[in-house]
Amino acid sequence: MNAQDFGKVAVLLGGDSAEREVSLRSGQAVTKALRNAGVDAHPFDPAHNPLAELKEQGFIRAFNVLHGRGGEDGTIQGALHYLGVPYTGSGVLACALAMDKVKTKQVWQAAGLPVARSVVVRRGEQLAFDKLLAELGGKVMVKPAQEGSSIGMSSADSAAGLEKAVALAHQFDAEALLESWLSGPEYTVAILGETALPAIRLETTHEFYDYDAKYQANDTQYHCPAGLSEVEEKALRQLAEAAFRSLGGKGWGRIDVMCDKQGNYRLLEANMVPGMTEKSLVPMAAKVAGLSFEQLVVEILRHSVS
């Protein structure tokens, strides 16, 4: 398929989630790259324009870079399917599952894939935080069930700290996911089509890879190649592919993985609409695999589903 064959493409960006600013940056970069590749691409912000205007304005398909709620939780995917507009990335069910960290872990556990020990705490539950902390090894990571970009995440190694961390997570979601602390290296693996791209090892001076480390810090380092042996790299890529496939992922996405203190891989979460600025992780891995940013966005567009 040539660039002109895609027709008029809407780049869905912005939206009204907590990740709006990140999505705007992704959308601007994708729009520019598609245009440079000869695609008739135009930015479209659902926060300002009703989705029905996609058909009215003659758009043939959509490149979705709406991050967070409404954009990668199955909502926009269902609306586009109803409108009959083909779109990039995974379908309704896969996006809904991946957006919910609790449901994602349940699917992975059922598939026999490795994850960290965890507990789900619902808003309003009365708990013995000291006992809960001990059960999970003395230190935990606390996450809202349905937020991205590390929003609402924090660590805890005391009962008082855990109570505070859970309260923070509950500001963003009715469920908080508590996971045993993982002290090994952190990796992310991009998926294009059904194939994993080279793994990236993340290195931050922060306690963990938080929002500031992702988007604001100047000292966060990304290593690609990740410095793994050929056997370790192959195992990590195969794990990411299996994790993506088990959720029903299509087209493209990203799987985040971390090692425990014994060096065993543990799946963290799935991202069905990852960041897509030219400095984001998926483009970084694609570049090592021999794909320019323009080639990457066109290839993602080729995988658009109806």
| Catalytic residue (choose from 17, 26, 118, 149) | 149
Q: Which residues are annotated as a binding site for Mg(2+)?
A: 256, 269, 271
Whether residue 19 lies in the annotated active site: yes
Catalytic residue among 17, 118, 154, 280: 280
Catalytic residue among 19, 72, 179, 294: 19
Active site residue 90: no
- Judge whether 149 counts as a catalytic residue: yes
Structure tokens, 192: 């294009």
Name residue, tokens 């042996």. 229
Residue partners of 133: CB distance under 8 A and separation at least 6: 139, 140, 156, 157, 158, 159, 162
Q: At what angle do helices 75-83 and 92-99 cross, to 10 degrees?
A: 170
Q: Which residue positions form the known binding site?
A: 256, 269, 271
Residues marked as catalytic: 19, 149, 280
